[in-house]
Structure 1
Amino acid sequence: MKLYQGMGPNSYRVRIFMAEKGIELPMVDIDFSKAEHRAPAFLALNSLGQIPVLELDDGTIITESVAICRYLEETHREPQLFGTDAVGRAKVEMWNRRAELVIFGTIGNVALHSDAFFKDRLTQFPAFAETERQAVPKKWSWVDRELADGRPYLAGDAFSIADITAGVCAWLGDVFGMAVPEDLANVQRWLKRVRARPSFQA
């Protein structure tokens, strides 16, 4: 297998997932500043020109970070990061989707509509970016209320891909000047716990 990856939250998410499972793969770095994601050879792998991309030994291509993680979960069973039973898997899925849609989406909109890196990819609306920026603390405040029951991780007692996704959201927020508010004690407790894991240095 081979992983095409580079700078950015989705590649980071897969690298953390791999580190949690002790998986090592050959990696091909894709440099967006050199437009390597638009090269014909790469577009043949992913027509959307996005990373990460997992290429299996038989030539099968899997794109989208969560899809890649699901494949790695099936082929490397321990530790289980998508839940261990029906309820656990549903809760992990629920929280992973919440992290993606509520937090990642909001922070991503700020980046997409304000950073010069994306100016040639879409029509930017700076006012929308500012509205989304102001909403970020409210999103984390909601998570803080959800974690008020004292559970150690988003989906319950076990670390999961939902924590990876939300932890990467916090990292992305730092990159774009939207750190998790210091006064959110429950989120800060959770974030300190996940950031202490060696995998977050991946």
Structure 2
Amino acid sequence: MKIYDWHIAPNPRRLHIYLAEKGIRVDLVEVGQDDLTLAPWFRQKYPHAMVPMLELDDGTQIGEAMAIARYFEELNPEPPLMGTDARDKAIVDMWEKRANEEGMLPASELFRNTHPKFAERGLPGAADAIPAIPELRDRGRARLERFFTKFDRQLAYNTFVAGERFTIADATTLAAVDFAGWSDVKIPDACRHLQRWYDDVNQRPSARA
């Protein structure tokens, strides 16, 4: 099996963090190019045109970082990074989705509508030109401010995002915070609990995966 990867992209990064925490190694195939586009051969092979994508030995293609993580979690349940019992799994899933929808997506919204290389690439995976929308820059920043505040409140009472253990929710949150930094949006000074968490998880070996 192999993972088609773009080593600088945020979605593959949260999967890399997850795999590093698991101690799982998978062959990587780099498909990103210097001009910040995906290689044409990859787009032809995988018309969904997004990374990461896991290709199994039988040719099955599995896209989406969390779907790939779920595949490996079922095969390698220890350590449990997607929850243990029904309650814990639901809480981890809840906070991972919040990190993605309220952190990763606004960071993407801001970046894609700001960076000149993405002026006609407003949506990921789209083959047709989709012009940037300047108004989405302000909305992206506002959404990120809400994300920082919400997660700061959560981390005031928890060591990690979903409780007292590192989980995949932390992987997505870390990727989201760093992705926001691509657009020069940093953790606000007032969010000291989020900053404490960030400093701690950023020291884990998986953060550099």
- The verdict on a shared fold, with TM-score over 0.5 as the criterion, is yes
Q: What amino acid maps onto 1:90 in structure 2? A: A
Counterpart check, 1:144 vs 2:152: yes
Secondary structure of the 1:179 match is: coil
**What TM-score comes out, normalization by structure 1 length?**
0.92
Shift of 1:2: 0.6
1:15-26 superposed matches below 5 A: 15-26=16-27
Q: Which amino acid in 2 is paired with 1:94?
A: M
User: Which structure's residues are more often helix, by fraction?
Assistant: 1
Please point out which of 171, 193, 205 is paired with 1:198.
205
Q: Aligned partner of 2:86: which letter?
A: A
| Greater mean deviation of Cα atoms: 191-200 or 84-93 | 191-200
RMSD, aligned α-carbons: 1.6
Q: Alignment partner of 1:114: what SS?
A: coil
Matched, 1:2 2:2: yes
Check the 8 A contact 2:36/2:117 in 1, yes or no. no
Letter of the structure 2 residue corresponding to residue 52 of structure 1: P
Whole-Å separation in 1 of the counterparts to 2:39 and 2:31: 10
Residues 152 and 115 of structure 1: CA distance in aligned 2, closer, same or farther (over 3 Å): same
Equivalent residue for 1:119? 119
Q: Contact (CA 8 Å) 1:36, 1:42: kept in 2 or not?
A: no
1:86-107 CA-to-partner distances (Å, cap 9, x unmatched) read 0000000100111111111211
Q: In structure 2, what is the Cα distance between the partners aligned to 1:83 and 1:137?
A: 28
Partner of 1:61: 61
Instruction: Mark the runs of 5 or more structure 2 residues left unpaired by the alignment.
Output: 122-129
CA distance 1:110–1:13, shift in 2 (3 Å)? same
Contact preservation (8 Å) 1:14, 1:69: yes
The C-alpha deviation readout for 1:96-124, integer Å capped at 9, x for no partner, is 11111111121111011111122222221
For residue 74 of structure 1, what is the aligned residue in structure 2? 74
Specify the code of the residue in structure 2 equivalent to 1:164: A
Does the CA-based 8 Å contact 1:45-1:61 persist in structure 2? no
Identity within the alignment, %: 34
Aligned pair count reads 200
Q: TM-score, normalised to structure 2's length? A: 0.89
- Residue 188 of structure 1 corresponds to 195
Displacement of 1:36 = 6.6
Contact kept, 8 Å, 1:46 with 1:63, in 2: the verdict is: no
Query: 1:162 aligned to 2:163?
Result: no
Structure 1 gap ranges (5+)? none
Q: Which residue of 2 aligns with 1:91?
A: 91
Deviations 1:177-197 (A, max 9, x none): 001112211111111121111
State the match for 2:138 in structure 1.
Answer: 130
CA distance, structure 2, for counterparts of residue 14 and residue 131 of structure 1: 27
Work out the CA distance in 2 between the residues paired with 1:34 and 1:105.
22
Q: 1:45 to 1:17 in 2, by over 3 A?
A: farther
Task: Give 3-state SS (helix, strand or coil) of 2:62's partner.
Answer: strand
Write the distance in 2 (CA, Å) between the matches of 1:201 and 1:165.
Answer: 14
Q: CA deviation at 1:35?
A: 7.5
Cα offsets for 1:52-107 (capped at 9, x unmatched)? 11111111111111111111111122111100110000000100111111111211
